[in-house]
Structure 1
Amino acid sequence: MSLGPYVIDTRDGRVGQVMAREGGFVQLRPPGGGVEWDCPPESVAPAPAPEGSRARARATGQEGRLP
């Protein structure tokens, strides 16, 4: 599965990775994993470069800790 970009949920400022689009919502997952949440498409904005870079680094760090 191809994962999507890191974006910001403009309702609360959380950064998440686009996992899917389902039922009229965009499903986002926090960097490094965790519980996905639904976000209306109109509340999704591209993550600025610093936030996207930090999110990718956190996700990579989490992957390195898996057994």
Structure 2
Amino acid sequence: MSTDETTWQPTVGGTARDVVRKKVGRVMDRTYGRYWLRPIGGGIEWDAPAADLRPVTTAELLADAVAEVNERSSKGALM
């Protein structure tokens, strides 16, 4: 693990990857050492400890967005 990853802390309004749930979310709040995240496209928030979160790369953000669009299109709802 690099030094940048060990000192990184999620910030409210930023994005983070929950490595346990394998999900990317926008950081909505922080309480008692846990972070509340919401899926980038909207949806139900979840909470995770800081130890389960890591920075998100641009490639991961794009992959997550494409997966979401593909899921919506398979249900017939492109918008």
Structure 1 unmatched runs, 5+? 59-64
Distance 2:25 2:50 in 1: 13
3-state DSSP class of the match of 2:41? Answer: coil
- What is the distance in 2 between the residues matched to 1:6 and 1:51? 11
Q: TM-score, normalised by structure 1?
A: 0.68
Match of 2:27 in 1: 18
Question: Among the aligned pairs, what percent are the same residue?
Answer: 35
Corresponding residue for residue 44 of structure 1:
53
Q: Which has the higher strand share?
A: 1
CA RMSD across the alignment: 2.2
- Pair 1:31 & 2:40 matched: yes
Superposed displacement of residue 54, structure 1: 5.3
Once the two structures are TM-superposed, the CA of residue 53 in structure 1 deviates from its matched residue by 4.2
Question: How many residues were matched structurally?
Answer: 57
Name which one, 1 or 2, has greater alpha-carbon Rg.
2
**What amino acid is aligned across from residue 23 of structure 1 in structure 2?**
Y
